[in-house]
Structure 1
Amino acid sequence: MSLTDTGTGTDERRTARPPGAGRWAAPPRPVWEEEPTGAGLAGKAAVLTVACLAILFPLWIVVVTSLSSRETISDAGGLVVIPRDITFIAYQELLSGGQVQRAALVSLGVTLVGTVFSMTVSVLCAYGLVRTDSLGHRWILMTLLATLFFGAGLIPTYLLVQALGLTDSYLALILPSAVSVFNILVLRSFFMNISPELMDSARIDGAGDLRILWGIVIPLSRAVIAVIALFYAVGYWSAWFNASLYLSDQDMMPLQNVMIQLVQKQEPPTGLGQQIKTGQLSPLAVQMAVMVLALLPVAVASPFVQKHFRKGMLTGAVKG
């Protein structure tokens, strides 16, 4: 047999292999890429349904109880599941003035001011850390990373806040927890994914760092900025420990501390004690109404940034 025949025979044998046979076979698909079966779809639907009910049913009980009259709560023996005799008297009394309304305004103000301040510092710090050739870049980054593993502790932090004269002031609710190093690292990772050619072309056109940050980096990073802003806002809105530690004036307490006072200590808010004693209001309805007021802003804001979670968090975690 000639060399030409041998080569031809080899080519024929290679082309004669059935598709998917031998070493030419396609690799098997992972299990999660297979088409789901009917039983699998039914199982997923059942699990999701149970999970949704486990989340929504307690919320339903809280809302229905807050809208129930004293007689309905007494007949139910506590928490109400089936709504009857719906009334908004608990919300009307809470929002008509007094400690709860003032606490809600305090929480809202601290959340807005704190979120803006935290986002400003975090974005500027993350953008500065993107410049690897900047002065002291490595030492600043190492210092920030060290704070993730080592903390000053509660007593030194309290002594520092006291020495700065921040006790019994709203700044004590913002400054001690104003910046999260984790959020800065997430922003930095996202900023590093932006094409450096865009920034170089802007510098050639005469744009400074602030102009580049405002005109290029921030518009391209709306997803991660929305996610980090939500993290900060939820943290400020839900915070209660700093207020209990640094504030002694009850009129300055945020909504979460009033809710703790009402639910755990069973102390009615200022201005509602007489209505509860005379039977006009149910203490349980007031407790549930305060819980709804505390949960409402987060529940309203979350859907608007939900679409940014996947893009913002996953893209920001690609590079470090």
Structure 2
Amino acid sequence: MKEKVTAFDYFNVAALTLLCILTLYPIIYVMMSSISDPVLLQQQEGIMLYPLGFSLEAYKLVFDNPSVLIGYRNTLFYVAAGTAINMFMTILGAFALSRRDLYIRKFLTIVIIFTMQFGGGLIPTFLVVSGMLGQSIWTQLLPGAIITSNLIIMRTGFFAIPDSLEESAKIDGANDWVVLTNIILPLSKPTLAVIALYYGVAHWNSWLPATIYLRDRTLFPLQLFLREILLQNQLEETVVGVATGLQADMSDVIKYATIIVAIIPVLCVYPFVQKYFVKGVMIGAVKG
């Protein structure tokens, strides 16, 4: 029997459509602006759904800066190495906290959740991290090795796996490591994909830790170099004075181009993990 369409269904469709428009339009606007003619863009007001003219000069100016390629190289390393460390530590922590026979499991969970509400502050953290790790690349990888919220999500996902599977494996002689690698992880692929996406995006967008701990420009991530380009462009515009001429026109286009350079890799990766996203979040949201 065909289900009856209610007014609430129409409301949901309208609300979600509006939400999609509000989400997509800023991206479309920035993308179209980044390839528009700088002079025509300065004259544009209101909604823009297509480029005004066509120019890739802003991208040329961004990529002519050798620091951008260095930043891409460093950021790709931070994303790959950082996400690997994050996932390894989070998986081990979640597996331990999901063991129902662990005597101090509840106490450890409370202590870990406590860290979500209370921290040492920026200055104590800086003193500890810089004192132990100096100004090395490890300052970008180790201090955030585990994010508590991701650990709790993964622990809850592990809880959702039936105990009978683990018990049958242990009857056959499997130890905890075999249970984790051959049973828990294969059944938790959606949750793992979502948590890896969270960690990867966090590393890709990270710039504050590099600002605090790094002094060697050869170790700077992409976001820090893009921030420098924006600030330098704003400074040049301020020195010139009134926003006139091609240089002032290019300043806005360069801003949009740097935004696209920063977000396009994430937009390319996301569709490949999107199929796991809803399922993984729902599994991790089940109370355990």
TM-score by length of 2: 0.84
Would the alpha carbon gap of residues 206 and 97 (structure 1) be closer, same or farther in structure 2, given more than 3 Å must change? farther
In the aligned structure 1, how far is the partner of 2:101 from the partner of 2:209?
Answer: 38
5 Å matches for 1:13-162? 35-37=4-6, 42-76=10-44, 82-95=50-63, 98-134=66-102, 136-162=104-130
Corresponding residue of 1:216? 183
The alpha-carbon deviation at position 138 of structure 1 amounts to 4.2
Tell me by how many angstroms 1:244 deviates.
Answer: 1.2
What is the distance in 1 between the residues matched to 2:185 and 2:204? Answer: 25
Please state whether the residue corresponding to 2:68 is helix, strand or coil. helix
CA distance in structure 1 between the aligned counterparts of 2:11 and 2:287, rounded to whole angstroms: 36
Report the equivalent of 1:259: 226
Paired letter, 1:304: F
Give the structure with higher Rg (CA): 1
Partners of 2:129 and 2:139 within 8 A in 1? yes
Contact 2:191–2:279, Cα closer than 8 Å, also in 1: yes
1:126-275 equivalent positions in 2, closer than 5 A: 126-134=94-102, 136-167=104-135, 169-264=136-231, 266=233
Q: Shift of residue 42 of structure 1?
A: 5.0
Q: Give the Å deviation of 1:40.
A: 5.3
The whole-number CA distance in structure 2 between the counterparts of 1:77 and 1:312 is: 42
AA in 2 matched with 1:57? Y
Q: Provide closer, same or farther for how the CA distance between residues 153 and 291 of structure 1 changes in structure 2, counting only shifts above 3 A.
A: same
Matched letter for residue 261 of structure 1: E
- Give 1 or 2: higher helix fraction: 2
Matched, 1:303 2:241: no
Deviation at 1:293, TM superposition (A): 1.4
Shift of 1:204: 2.1
Letter paired with 1:124: L
Distance 1:262 1:42, change over 3 A: same
The normalised TM-score by structure 1 is 0.76
CA distance in structure 2 between the partners assigned to 1:166 and 1:71 by the alignment: 47
1:77 Cα offset (Å)? 7.9
Shift of 1:111: 1.1
Distance 1:166 1:118 in 2: 21
CA 1:200–1:262: 2 relative to 1, 3 Å: same
Contact (CA 8 Å) 2:153, 2:284: kept in 1 or not?
yes
* Structure 2 unaligned blocks of 5 or more: 237-244
**SS at 1:131 equivalent:** coil
**In structure 2, the residue corresponding to 1:111 is in which secondary structure?**
helix
Identity %: 32
SS at match of 2:117: coil
Q: Which amino acid aligns with 2:94?
A: A
CA displacement at 1:152 relative to structure 2: 1.5
Residue by residue over 1:201-249, the C-alpha shift from the partner in whole angstroms, topping out at 9 and shown as x without a partner, is 2122222222211111101000111111111111111112111111223
